[in-house]
Structure 1
């Protein structure tokens, strides 16, 4: 059976006589209304309520958390404990190095050898460093900032790692990657906008803190029309 949608049959064109008949009837009816008075457009049609198709079928389950990172909060070994819970006390570069080492031990490296070398030379070659300046924002609502790390890969991809202090240990709560146009924090949510294969649109993914799983999870993903950059001022 073909899955293509059938287009509705084309409506026949009105004949000239039919148009004249309608026009004449409108003129006769219009003669009963004084000029300048508003005319009724008739009864407005009532919008139908949404109708769910295949209601007997159960909805799809929520995507597993490991689509966007760890299934559970993952303590990062090789770093000192932080009893105060202030992640700013740790150097962000040491967190990146510890994460790369941990991924290598699990045989799940996030980067190839060339990329790892670039990251290791960040202190000596800051202009060539793919690691962005670390950001600190409260994403869990506990009044303490989380560490947000962005690492630029080839082909305009950006790896996003988010960490918090949990029971004194540095713990990863988000690990994702995308062709990112922008990243922002809005009302505690981490919003990632990505380029889309659909012309004129961009993907928008919202990550929110899930207190039950103790990680950041994807709350919603949608496609928006691309936001146009403001035009430069004259003379700029």
Structure 2
């Protein structure tokens, strides 16, 4: 990284302002010498850089959902249970295996029509995650061990005004797939924030998933460990206010029914 330098013109203007204001009532006064920017020092500069990741964490992995069409490109008109069931047969563009669900969860998903009380698919949410003015479908899937799988789906470009003959029309693509033992899932701007417990007492992990236009997928753009917010003794709620929600109506839809209605 190149060192950050103050432009010469800006420095000259600042110096002139200080000189002209000297001695005048209410004039500018110098606050002392500004600290100079320090370029990061590289450790082990002779170490050859890695060219490939040692593990495939599934980042940027997408999957076309077979058998699902999106009427008018409106994901609100989809049955989320049917989407999740169809997603069990989806083939990802890379085979990291991280989108796979536990066998017990798969059986429950397949039985959502006949055993709706045990269906692990949570009520869907609809947010414009990509910034194109149309909502994406966000679904949560309960898993054993209080874990949660989070999936986000986007109507394919063919239903978003693309009139080319090569356009794929009416399809649905999964643009995000992750799972964790979450504390909460939140929306901040257009980012999905997953909070997960840490092994260190009083701390938690927070991962921000953001749309990447080049990759055409949601990426984990920020992953950090932070002090957990204090909780009020009277309510048990976090002292830290929740991020502002930006959505079509700011509320989830009704819980998905077993018959898709």
Aligned partner of 1:195 in structure 2 is 197
Shift of 1:66: 5.8
Matches within 5 A, 1:121-200: 121-166=111-156, 167=158, 168-200=170-202
CA distance in 2, matches of 1:199, 1:51: 35
Q: 1:206 aligns with which of 208, 222, 230?
A: 208
Aligned partner of 2:72 in structure 1 is 84
Shift of 1:155: 1.4
Aligned partner of 1:98 in structure 2 is 86
Q: 2:109 aligns with which of 119, 124, 128?
A: 119
Distance 1:94 1:188, change over 3 A: same
**Alignment partner of 1:67: what SS?**
coil
Aligned partner of 2:218 in structure 1 is 216
Q: Matched residue pairs, number? A: 187
CA distance in 1, matches of 2:188, 2:211: 12
Gaps of 5+ in 1: 1-43
Shift of 1:174: 0.5
TM-score normalised according to structure 1 size: 0.67
Gaps of 5+ in 2: 1-31, 159-169, 236-261
Are the counterparts in 2 of residues 69 and 173 from structure 1 also a CA contact under 8 Å? no
Shift of 1:111: 2.5
Shift of 1:49: 5.8
Are the counterparts in 1 of residues 60 and 218 from structure 2 also a CA contact under 8 Å? no
Distance 1:60 1:133, change over 3 A: farther
Give 1 or 2 for the bigger CA radius of gyration: 1
Shift of 1:47: 7.4
